Amino acid sequence: MARSISQRRKTINTVLAWSLGLLIFFPILWTILTSFKTEGDAIAYPPKFLFFDWTLENYAIVQERSNYMRYLWNSVIIAGGSTLLGILVAVPAAWSMAFVPSRRTKDILMWMLSTKMLPAVGVLYPIYLLFIKLGLLDTRTGLVIVLMLINLPIIVWMLYTYFKEIPAEILEAARMDGAGLKDEILHVLTPMAIPGIASTILLNFILAWNEAFWTLNLTAAQAGTLTAFIASYSSPEGLFYAKLSAASTMAIAPILILGWFSQKQLVRGLTFGAVK
């Protein structure tokens, strides 16, 4: 009896969740489907869902027009570099905030977050002038630094909340055993913190990947990322739905695939101290 009720509930849950999931995913699915249509089919009425002449033409056109691999590589380097650099800076800071808190810890955290609230366009000229002085315009190094700084507050905060969940008793036990600060971090904390660090890396990689203001405004021919790639398709002449879809699919596919493979990691660590 109880079993059949739970079976029925499970069925209802499944149907409901799948419908909602597909509804949320639909815009992406539709974009991917459209990228395989001819421009005519893309705006056909009534809309064609699956039964149309599948074509790779749009991808060929997009590939011919722009050097996709260079944009992709730049995106990988810049998103990856800024995330790793950010982690290097943030781990010690978050560690000390979590385990040696002072009265000002919370204020410092909040202040760090508040630096994210300055609208980017408001500081475009200052940063641009600074980049000219430092010779960082259109370099991947420059963007790695900027994106690292932009996301640093989120990284610190995420790690801080994660570290705080590690029971202090474990550390004390390690200290009793005579472990130094280095051992404490390397052999006790780090293994425990790996899931948290992993999901922090993932989240920041995604945020850096999708950053579209600085990556567009501080680059020219050398360091342009996929956001610059998209900016050359955003309103071309003529019928453009299918080509736009192809370019969009190419821009989001790498990060989507990465996200899917790592979603378990992402879910496990994405708590921001929300779980106690």
Partner 1 sequence: MKMTLRALLGASVSLALAGGVMAETITIATVNNGDMIRMQGYTDDFTAKTGHTVEWVTLEENVLRERVTTDITTKGGQFDIMTIGMYETPIWGKNGWLVPLNDLSADYDAADILPAMAGGLSYDGTLYAAPFYGESSMVMYRTDLMQKAGLTMPEAPTWAFIREAAAKMTDRANDINGICLRGKAGWGEGGAFITAMSNSFGARWFDENWKPTFDSEAWANTVNFFKGMMDESGPAGYATNGFNENLSLFQQGKCGMWIDATVAASFVTNPADSTVADRVGFALAPDNGLGKRSNWLWAWALAIPAGTQKEAAAKQFIEWATSKDYIELVAAKEGWANVPPGARTSLYQNPEYQKVPFAKMTLDSILSADPTQPTVDPVPYVGIQFAAIPEFAGIATDVSQEFSNAYAGQQTVEEALAKAQALATEAMEAAGY
Partner 2 sequence: MATKASRSAARLMMAPAVILLLGWMLVPLVMTLWFSFRTYLPLRGGDQGFAGFDNYVRFVTSSAFWPAIGATLTIVLGALIITIVLGVLLALLLDQPMWGQGIVRILVIAPFFVMPTVSGLVWKNMFLDSVNGLFAQVARMFGATPVEWIIDQPFASLILIVSWQWLPFATLILLTAIQSLDREQLEAAEMDGATAWKRFWHIILPHLSRAITVVLLIETIFLLSIFAEIKMTTAGAFGTKTLTYLIYQRVLESQNIGLGSAGGVYAIILANIVAIFLMRIVGKNLDR
Angle at the Cα of 266 from the Cα atoms of 213 and 111, rounded to 5 degrees: 55
| Interface stretch with partner 2, choices 52-60, 62-70, 189-197, 252-260 (CB under 8 A) | 252-260
- State in angstroms the smallest separation of the CB of 144 from partner 2: 13
Residues 255, 180 contacting (CB under 8 angstroms)? no
- Compare residues 49 and 125 and give the one whose CB is closer to partner 1: 125
The verdict on 154 binding partner 2 (CB under 8 A) reads yes
Chain residues binding partner 1 by CB under 8 A are 39, 43, 64-66, 124-125, 128-129, 131-132, 137-138, 216-217, 220-222, 224, 228, 231-240
- Among 8, 10, 53, 54, contact with partner 2 (rule: CB under 8 A): 10
Q: How far is CA 196 from the centre of its chain?
A: 15
Alpha helices (runs of H) in 35-114, residue ranges in sequence order: 39-42, 57-65, 68-99, 105-114
Contacts with 262 (C-beta within 8 Å, 6 or more apart), sequence order: 198, 202
| Interface stretch with partner 2, choices 17-25, 52-60, 134-142, 188-196 (CB under 8 A) | 17-25
Q: How far apart are CA 158 and CA 273, in angstroms?
A: 8
Would you give the binding string for partner 2 spanning residues 198-237, x where CB under 8 A is met?
Answer: --------x--xx-xx------------xx--xx--x---
Of residues 251, 244, 245, 156, the one with CA closest to residue 209: 251
Q: How far apart are CA 20 and CA 24, in angstroms?
A: 6
The verdict on 83 binding partner 2 (CB under 8 A) reads no
The verdict on 197 binding partner 2 (CB under 8 A) reads no
- Among 61, 149, 174, 179, contact with partner 2 (rule: CB under 8 A): 149
Q: How far apart are CA 151 and CA 155, in angstroms?
A: 6
Residues 213, 227 contacting (CB under 8 angstroms)? no
**Count of residues touching partner 2 (by CB under 8 A):** 92
Angle at the Cα of 19 from the Cα atoms of 17 and 21, rounded to 5 degrees: 65
Give residues 100-129 in contact with partner 2 (rule: CB under 8 A): 100, 102, 106, 108, 110, 112-127, 129
Give residues 24-63 in contact with partner 2 (rule: CB under 8 A): 24-25, 27-28, 30-31, 34, 43, 45-47
| Interface stretch with partner 2, choices 57-65, 76-84, 132-140, 256-264 (CB under 8 A) | 256-264
Provide the phi-psi class of 219: left if phi over 0, else alpha when psi is between -120 and 50, else beta. Answer: beta
